[in-house]
Amino acid sequence: MASRSFPILLNLPIFKRSFKNASLIRKHATASNTVKLSFTQFDPPKLNESHESSPLIILHGLFGSKNNWRSLAKVFAQRLNTRVFTLDLRNHGESPHSEVHNYEVMAKDVVTFMNDHQLKRTVVMGHSMGGKVAMTIALMQVPQIDQLVVVDSAPTNTSISKEFATYVDVMKKVEQTEVMKQSQADEIMKGYISDINIRQFLLTNLKKDPEIEVYKFRIPLDVLGNSLKTLNGFPFDSDRHTFHKSTLFVAGVKSNYIPPKIHPTIKTFFPNSVIVELDTGHWVHSEKPHDFATIVTDFLKKDL
């Protein structure tokens, strides 16, 4: 349920604004509160808000951050002539931490962001965990949602706990060792995670604590580890909740997150949806960024 970044696609003259709402040590929100999400805004070369397409919000996956989508955000801002907002979901990136981590509260955080920024007719796109957050927002019948894009995620139970529980345990081992260099952390992780891409992805969360000069993970490992079972599920019943606006699902053929047997369930929740498959694993957008960008752009442009 994670997102990875990839090399810059295009060298685009796009103005980027980054907004940080938390330092390495963050305040914890109470169970009933939404949190103010850290975000980066990407503007098209010539922004005219009165004539722009629907703004696009992009949500990352588990253990990811807004930075995973930096390259594609620039592409979408130019091709769609719209503002693109990449968000850090709660307990990720530079956003505040909270003991509560489920799809409903994450969705409410994003809706609060939309309201605070007066975003109307908005497109929400999410990968993996972020995809389930995006679907939750849509099924909450939030009126600002104009279109939905879901990347390798489905409105159903997902068996991810074992794999991601291992990642949490390994990151805890790194912290317990009190490493002074990132290379030391990678050496520890190598004994448990053979895929260098996954290790590098997880290590994007490793930051030096200036007070004690050792590296710590900026994400709350206990909170996320305890939330894995909840993140496996999906908070809605297709018999009572549907989203009838235009929806795109992009699936990785080599991934098992959107198998063919799930397609009828998707159609029940999202009757006006299309499912497009790419020959990739779970990280569709990083494995084939050009194809992915074209598919999403063409889909969103058809309703302009």
Give the tokens for residue 260.
């063919």
Among residues 128, 246, 255, 273, the one annotated as catalytic is 128
Rounded-to-integer distance, Cα 46 and Cα 202, Å = 36
**Catalytic one among 92, 97, 282, 285?**
282
Please confirm, yes or no, whether 128 is among the known catalytic residues: yes
Point out the catalytic residue in the list 222, 237, 279, 298.
222
Q: What distance in Å separates the CA atoms of residue 164 and residue 196, rounded to the nearest whole number?
A: 15
Q: How far apart are the first and last CA of the chain?
A: 31
SS (H, E, C) 69-129: HHHHHHHHHHHHCCCEEEECCCCCCCCCEECCCCHHHHHHHHHHHHHHCCCCCEEEEEECH
Indicate if 28 belongs to the active site: no
- Element spanning 18, H or E: strand 16-19
Residue type, 173: K
Residues tagged active-site: 128, 222, 282
